[in-house]
Amino acid sequence: MQRIANLDDIAQGLDALCRIDPRLEKVRGMAGDVPLRLSEPGFRSLASIVVSQQVSRASADAIFGRLTTLLDPLTPQAILAAGEDVFREAGLSRPKQRGLIAVATAVADGLDLNHLCLLDAPKAIAAMTAVPGIGPWTAEVYLLFAAGHPDIFPARDVALQSAVGHALGIDPRPPEKTLIRLAESWSPWRGVASRLFWAYYRELKGRDAAPPA
């Protein structure tokens, strides 16, 4: 697996995508800067993605900022020792609290988030989604940004659905299953395609909707 590790890898992937699908040349021109978005593998990275589930990027950044101020360093042990008052002060909903506790428990019990980054995507996703609070979107985003996986496209992401729909003239925006089929044509560079369409969405809407990295 060729890891997406630097901006040269992004440029290589964009060149390949434009050869695979010439429609993406225009998307690339409108998207502006396509960031690398890499984070260190581990609990903190996964926790930030759990916090960002189903909320805006701005809200996720604010909540995670408060959480990491209250629990510094942010470790599984710190989450498990924290009381509900800490979670409430951070602004975490009850489902997010349960999700973070489940993830912290799994890591404390031996789930190796670094090792998962070395696995093929289906195996890693299966291991992660066995943990309550980690759905396919969370697992896919973790592998994209913590593992630099080159060939994952989180088709459940509403911003990606909107961006692809607008860029390719698909109205209404393509739902998950349609987008999965469409993105198959961008393999083995779906990880770069994800970044491209998040960048396109940023230019289209004037705000960043990509999950934190």
CB burial of 116-152 (b: ≥16 within 10 Å; e: otherwise) equals bbebebeebbebbbebebbbebbbbbbbbbbbbbbbb
Task: Print pLDDT tens along the chain (213 aa).
Answer: 689 999 999 999 999 999 999 999 999 999 999 999 999 999 999 999 999 999 999 999 999 999 999 999 999 999 999 989 999 999 999 999 999 999 999 999 999 999 999 999 999 999 999 999 899 999 999 999 999 999 999 999 999 999 999 999 999 999 999 999 999 999 999 999 999 999 999 999 999 999 987
Q: What is the pLDDT of residue 1?
A: 65
Q: What is the pLDDT of residue 128?
A: 97
SS3 66: helix
pLDDT at 213: 77
Supply the pLDDT for residue 150: 95
Q: How far apart are CA 133 and CA 148, in angstroms?
A: 22
pLDDT of res. 2:
81
Question: What are the angstrom distances between the C-alpha of 204 and each of 11, 134, 159?
Answer: 21, 29, 11
pLDDT of 212: 86
Domains of the chain with bracketed CATH:
7-37+151-205 (1.10.1670.40), 43-145 (1.10.340.30)
